[in-house]
Amino acid sequence: MEAAENANVAAPLIKRLDLSKGDKFDTMLQGVLDVASLPDPLGKITFANRLDDGLELYRVTCPIGVLLVIFESRPEVIANITALAIKSGNAVILKGGKESFHSFAAISGLIREALEGTEIPPGAVQLIESRQEVSELLKQDKYIDLVVPRGSNELVRSIKSNTKIPVLGHADGLCSVYVHHDADIDMAARIVVDSKTNYVAACNAAENLLLQRSALQSHLPALATALIDAGVSLKVTPEISESLKQAGVEGTASATIGSAEEKDFETEYLSLTIAVAAVEGVEEAIKHINSHSSKHTDSIVTASKEIADKFLNGVDSSGVFWNASTRFSDGFRYGFGTEVGISTSKIHARGPVGLEGLTCYQYQLRGTGQVAADYVGAGGKKEFKHENINI
């Protein structure tokens, strides 16, 4: 913390570095305990089929192998990732943001010390410091099985273009809340304010607010006032600006109202700022989100199940919520214990990546001397039974 303050690190980042804020430290510890109490994810049979008498096929979960996780300057992340890696049977190489290296070194030292009293080799968890080490490790596709980069889209793209190792991308958290005209105003205000302010430096904090055009007169004044009262500055389109003027809503010295540009709807602020625009309806909201978001988490506030279902099925994000804050997009809140990150990829794992996302599977065939040549398709006459085995 002292090093960051002496280096004039930006306030949102200093907030991320501070484990003493709120319940961050206790939450970190609880996350480790929660992971420990989860069922063992390994050795689970997810498919079983009797090919023939005495010849049975099983699909069984197993570790991925060696993980390389590159993450931001949040000290608690190292404990979260290590707990998940150990529980899922994976070795892990960790590279955190340089601003947190003192904390990372202290915590990883404790982890290695704890592992010395177990059957897990201390080298199963390793910490690296330099970018050069990352560059070298990205070439080791023979030894490293999965790279998990957490951070900006630029980081994820850079990693993908510089390695042959599979990459589970965790990019920007560019989250939106859309308020439909029939939304309860008090509910909408609570959800919007919580999504933006509960923890502004988190990747699941809302950066965009969209309102249905027919709700500007009824909903915008209350939502804007609630945000301004919470210290949030608004970047608004001309249409929103005019509506606020007509309603007599003004900013303050610390929570200003300014003009929004197109790029503002593609910016992860990680601060008390939100971009606000109007859309014609749910279809335009879906189009706007799919065009501007990072496919992380987006929420709709509406009283209509039909409208909500259209939004939930139309928005192409890893988390899509109805009448709930975007801040619920989190492995701990989902009951995963904790998470390696939130994946915006569409293969293997999506959304908060917990134990299940750090396992894969293998097929185990258990026979009694059978050979393929005896069966149809390989020269033989025997037919396969292909009977499901209850598991």
Written as one letter, the residue type at 50 is: R
- What are the beta bridge partners of residue 188? none
Q: How confident is the model at residue 121 (pLDDT cuts 50, 70, 90)?
A: confident
* Residue 156 parent element (H or E): helix 153-161
Asked whether residue 310 carries a pLDDT value surpassing 90, the answer given is yes
Q: What is the pLDDT of residues 14-50, one digit of tens each?
A: 888 888 888 889 988 998 999 999 999 999 999 999 9
Residue 387 phi, psi dihedral angles, 5° rounding: -105, 135
Q: What is the pLDDT of residues 345-365, one digit of tens each?
A: 877 788 888 899 999 999 999
Asked whether residue 170 carries a pLDDT value surpassing 70, the answer given is no
Mean pLDDT, rounded, for 81-85 = 93
| Helix, strand, coil content of the chain in percent (nearest 5) | 40, 25, 40
Q: What is the mean pLDDT of the chain?
A: 92
In angstroms, the CA 209 to CA 235 distance is 10
Q: How confident is the model at residue 201 (pLDDT cuts 50, 70, 90)?
A: confident
Q: Tell me the Ramachandran region of residue 43: left when phi exceeds 0, alpha when psi lies from -120 to 50, beta otherwise.
A: left
- Residue percentage of the chain with pLDDT more than 90: 69
117 versus 62: which is more confidently predicted?
A: 62
* Residue 229: how many other CB atoms lie within 10 Å: 12
Asked whether residue 238 carries a pLDDT value surpassing 80, the answer given is yes
Asked whether residue 330 carries a pLDDT value surpassing 70, the answer given is yes
Q: Are 334 and 356 in contact (CB under 8 A)?
A: no
In angstroms, the CA 120 to CA 114 distance is 10
**Coil, strand, or helix at residue 356?**
helix
In angstroms, the CA 135 to CA 133 distance is 5
Considering only CA atoms, give the Rg of the chain: 25
Q: Are 210 and 288 in contact (CB under 8 A)?
A: yes
pLDDT at 154: 79
117 versus 33: which is more confidently predicted?
A: 33
Q: Nearest CA to 175 among 263, 269, 261?
A: 269
Mean pLDDT, rounded, for 228-245 = 97
List of residues 6+ apart from 14 with CB closer than 8 A: 1, 4, 5
Q: How confident is the model at residue 175 (pLDDT cuts 50, 70, 90)?
A: very high
pLDDT at 376: 87
187, with CB counted inside 10 A (0-12, 13-18, 19+), is middle
Mean pLDDT, rounded, for 303-321 = 96
Q: Are 260 and 283 in contact (CB under 8 A)?
A: no
Q: How confident is the model at residue 338 (pLDDT cuts 50, 70, 90)?
A: confident
pLDDT at 171: 63
